[in-house]
Amino acid sequence: MQKRQIYLLPALLFTFLWCLPVLCLAEEEIPESASQNQKCLKCHGQRFYFYHNEFVGKEVKDRMNPYFLIDSAQYYKSNHRSFVCTDCHSSDYRNFPHDGNLRMEPKFNCLDCHGGDETYAHFHFEKIEEEFLASVHSTKHSEDFTCWMCHNPHSYRISARNNENIGEVIVYDNDICLSCHANIEKYQLLTNLTNPNVLVTHEWLPNQALHFSKVRCIECHTEVDRDILVAHKVQEKEKAVRKCVECHSQNSLLMATLYKFESVEKRSSLGFFNATILGEHYIIGANRNYYLNVVSFIVFGLTFIGIIIHAILRFINK
């Protein structure tokens, strides 16, 4: 019996040590606001909720409006995870049933919190707003198009932009665009036009599927601004990038957009141009190698000289 206990001790110790980081991480990820938000998420965090109907005198189970449903797991990963619900919504929402007039309350925009605050100065929110107001989204739809059309305040997370997995950044950002441009219900909140099929409107693009999976929509549809991390001046479709050389060259546009937050923007010690891009995938024309270029010129030069010498000898022999 004692031997069995001795053998079990290492196994139990290993199990405890293996679970410890997970338990610690779970504690760190749940902010203090969670306990206060639980009263709201008790209903808004699930598809069904219960309430006491005073008129009939019993507990009633009802369906939550999907547009008012908050994924708590996503919320506590978002940038606003430390907020209490009533930091942004009226404190009158603490009362149930909610007063119908509360739905008319004005919603905050980004600069209401982030504007003029030195804590967020490095994000250049004022510049972002300036770009946004000049974008086709704002000029065509005015006040109807807000920050929240793209950036869901309950799930948005800037931490998705990192240099560890560019593929995740691309999917995350493109999903923001497709949440309107591939969703007719949301698209027609702003217009009565039929939502164009992005596959059809991009038929001209060579190897379409590869481009969609390797670059973001904003690479081609925004005006590049080197002062901010992500360009917000979305342009008319007529001004979208269509020249292959814009990306497939040594001065690739991607170095000022998708790979802008990467620390290395110069050639590597091995002589590759735009080595940062090479870390993820090979882009024809943008990932050339300096030394291979030199060797190619030498080989080409020697070949050309050989042809000239051969021609001269043939001419002399005749």
pLDDT in tens, 170-226: 898 999 999 999 988 888 888 888 888 899 999 999 989 999 998 999 999 999 887
Q: Kindly state the percentage of the chain with pLDDT values over 70.
A: 80
Read off the tokens for 143.
Answer: 């006040």
Q: Where are the alpha helices (DSSP H) in 254-289?
A: 275-278
Q: Which of 161, 122, 129, 123 is nearest to 147 (CA)?
A: 129
Read off the tokens for 296.
Answer: 């190619």
Cα separation, 109 vs 216, in Å, equals: 25
pTM recorded for the entire structure: 0.71
- Contact between 315 and 294 under an 8 Å Cβ cutoff? The reply is no
| Residue count of the chain | 318
The DSSP output letter for 260 is T
Q: Which of 26, 148, 44 is nearest to 86 (CA)?
A: 44
Q: Which amino acid is at 271?
A: G
pLDDT score for 138 = 92
pLDDT score for 272 = 57
Q: Which helix (H) or strand (E) holds 53?
A: strand 48-53
Q: Which helix (H) or strand (E) holds 11?
A: helix 2-29
What is the pLDDT averaged over residues 121-140?
90
Q: Which residues contact 225 (CB under 8 A, 6 or more apart)?
A: 127, 131, 231, 233
What are the residues facing 62 on neighbouring strands? 49
Cα separation, 70 vs 44, in Å, equals: 6
Residues 278-301: tens digit of each pLDDT: 666 667 766 666 667 778 888 998
Q: Which residue has the higher pLDDT, 12 or 59?
A: 59
Mean pLDDT of the chain: 81
pLDDT score for 317 = 85
Q: Kindly state the percentage of the chain with pLDDT values over 90.
A: 33
